[in-house]
C-alpha cells in the first residue's frame, strides 16, 4: 500500500502553538519556534496576513472580523514542514 511519505504533524505542535479557540473580535498569543521570521494568518481564502515574529517567538494576533464558527488558520514555516494551527472563532460570552 502506498504511503504518501511525511507523517502528519500533530495540530499546533512544532512550529506554532497556541489556543484552540478565540472570542470574536479578540486576539490570541501564539508561540513560534525559534528561527521563524514570520507567520501567516488566513481563513481558507487566498488573502493572508503576514505577521513578523519578534525575538522570543511570542506573537499576538488580532483576529480578523469574522463570524463565530469560522476557523482561523495560523501557519509557520513553508513547504511540507509547515506547522499549522487551527483556531476556532467563538461568540463572546454574555
In whole angstroms, what is the distance from residue 73 CA to residue 55 CA? 22
Q: Are 40 and 75 in contact (CB under 8 A)?
A: yes
Q: Is the Cβ of residue 50 or residue 54 nearer to another protein in the bound state? A: 50
Cβ burial of 77 (10 Å; 0-12, 13-18, 19+) is buried
Per-residue mark of binding to another protein, 42-81 (x: CB under 8 A)? xxxxx----------------------xxx-x-x---xx-
Q: Are 41 and 49 in contact (CB under 8 A)?
A: yes
**Binders in 10-49 for another protein, by CB under 8 A:** 11, 20, 42-46
Contacts to another protein by CB under 8 A: 1-6, 8-9, 11, 20, 42-46, 69-71, 73, 75, 79-80, 82, 84, 86, 88
Amino acid at each position: 500500500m502506498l504511503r504518501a511519505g511525511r507523517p502528519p504533524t500533530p495540530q499546533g505542535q512544532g512550529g506554532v502553538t497556541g489556543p484552540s479557540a478565540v472570542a470574536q473580535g479578540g486576539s490570541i498569543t501564539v508561540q513560534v519556534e525559534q528561527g521563524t521570521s514570520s507567520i501567516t494568518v488566513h481563513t481558507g481564502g487566498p488573502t493572508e496576513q503576514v505577521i513578523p515574529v519578534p525575538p522570543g517567538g511570542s506573537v499576538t494576533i488580532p483576529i480578523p472580523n469574522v463570524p463565530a464558527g469560522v476557523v482561523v488558520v495560523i501557519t509557520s514555516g513553508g513547504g511540507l514542514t509547515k506547522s499549522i494551527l487551527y483556531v476556532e472563532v467563538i461568540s463572546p460570552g454574555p
